[in-house]
Structure 1
Amino acid sequence: MGARSKARKRAVDVLYEAEAREVDPVTLISERVGSTEVAPVNDYTITLVEGVRDNAARIDQLISEHAEGWNLNRMPAVDRAILRIGLYELLWAADVPDAVAIDEAVELAKTLSTDDSPRFVNGVLGRIAGIAGHLRASLNT
């Protein structure tokens, strides 16, 4: 597993834990940076967590709009975290190709969630990727 894949997994863990504990994910990760009690935090993990937190309203709106038949609150919490990271990478991480963002999210879903989650994650992110160019343009205006 590559360094960025590990960073994504760690970001899912942080987002999941922050939601469960009802704490700010950036605060949670900042407590972990430099701690000797947990594994070192990769810079890309910090980038992902900060990016998801900073764009949370828009990310959740887009997930809700494109998760056909699913309410955001009904989704498994780990799927929400995976989708949030995947969508952040799709729209805000210019150095991550769309296909890589989707593939990495699907792999996380295979490893961390239900049997149906990879297909669900792929479908939601695939629909958004289809309009990503338009969305990126609107984010920059």
Structure 2
Amino acid sequence: MGARTKARKRALELLYEAEARGLNVGQLLADRVAAPTTQHPLPDYTVTLVEGVLAHWGEINEVLETYSQGWQLDRMPSVDRAVLRVATWEIVWNDEVPDPVAIAEAVELVQGMSTNESPTFVNGLLARVSDVKATLA
């Protein structure tokens, strides 16, 4: 597993944990940076991802609600929400990651962690986000 793939997985875990436990994501991130819960500190790219998602939280949620074709965010599996938020930030606000890479990484993450329908749903929604990103940023 590549360094950025691991960082994405850690970002997904942080976002998922914060939601599941009803915690503030920014505070959880700060806590984990200050006192890691594993022998390895959070990768820098994990911090970048979570901070990026937090900085654009409302915009990301609006994009996902708009282009998910009838699916409200609160009806999506929480893993899917977390992955979609990370990938949307990478697609729209991070020019260092090619869109197809962000989409493929997101699909890979949900394949082992969410529902059987999630990979197709995530792929389609993120492809649409990629198609319209020029109008979003």
Q: Tell me the matched-pair count.
A: 136
Aligned to 1:127: 128
Seen in structure 2, the aligned counterparts of structure 1 residues 70 and 11 have a Cα distance that, compared at 3 Å, is: same
Instruction: Give the TM-score normalised by structure 2.
Output: 0.94
Q: For 2:8 and 2:37, locate their aligned partners in 1 and report how far apart those are by CA, in whole Å.
A: 20
Over residues 26-46 of structure 1, what are the superposed CA-to-partner deviations in whole Å (9 max), with x where a residue is unaligned?
210211124253232000000
**Which amino acid counterpart does residue 21 of structure 1 have in structure 2?**
R
Instruction: Give the TM-score normalised by structure 1.
Output: 0.92
Gaps of 5+ in 2: none
The alignment's C-alpha RMSD in Å is: 1.1
Offset of residue 24 of structure 1:
1.7
**Which amino acid counterpart does residue 37 of structure 2 have in structure 1?**
E
Residues 1:10 and 2:10 aligned together: yes
**Which amino acid counterpart does residue 97 of structure 1 have in structure 2?**
P
Aligned to 1:139: none
**Partner SS state of residue 136, structure 2:** helix
Gaps of 5+ in 1: 137-141
Offset of residue 133 of structure 1:
2.1
**Partner SS state of residue 131, structure 1:** helix
Q: For 2:52 and 2:119, locate their aligned partners in 1 and report how far apart those are by CA, in whole Å.
A: 23
